[in-house]
Amino acid sequence: MELSDDQQRGFRENGFLIFPNLFGEAETEALRADLGRMRDIESDHVVRERTGGLRTVFRVHENDGPTQSEPFHALSRSPRLLKPATQVLGDDDVYIYHSKVNTKVAIEGTVWLWHQDYGYWYWDGVPTSNMVTSMVLLDEATELNGCLYIVPGSHELGRLEPYADEETTSYKQWTIERERLVKVLKESPAPVPIVGGPGTAVVFHANVLHASGHNLSPRDRWQVYFVYNPVANKPTEVVNPRPDYVRSVNFEPIRPMDDGAILAHAATSA
Which of ligand SIN, Mn ion, none does residue 69 bind (CB under 5 to 8 Å by kind)? none
Is residue 212 close enough to count as binding ligand SIN by CB under 6 A?
yes
Q: Containing H/E element for 268? A: helix 261-269
Q: Containing H/E element for 11? A: helix 5-14
Q: Which one of 45-53, 101-109, 116-124, 149-157 is the stretch in contact with Mn ion (CB under 5 A)?
A: 116-124
Is residue 223 close enough to count as binding ligand SIN by CB under 6 A?
yes
Which of ligand SIN, Mn ion, none does residue 122 bind (CB under 5 to 8 Å by kind)? none
Nearer Cβ to ligand SIN (76/102): 102
Is residue 117 close enough to count as binding Mn ion by CB under 5 A?
yes
Strands of the sheet containing 201-205, edge to edge, are 16-19, 201-205, 132-137, 223-230, 94-102, 54-58, 46-48
The one-character DSSP state at 12 is H
Q: Containing H/E element for 18? A: strand 16-19
Is residue 102 close enough to count as binding ligand SIN by CB under 6 A?
yes
For residues 125 and 238, is the Cβ–Cβ distance under 8 A? yes
Q: At its nearest, how many Å lie between Mn ion and the CB of residue 265?
A: 27
For residues 104 and 145, is the Cβ–Cβ distance under 8 A? yes
Which of Mn ion, ligand SIN, none does residue 223 bind (CB under 5 to 8 Å by kind)? ligand SIN
Task: By CB under 5 A, name the binding residues for Mn ion.
Answer: 117
Task: By CB under 6 A, name the binding residues for ligand SIN.
Answer: 102, 112, 148, 210, 212, 223
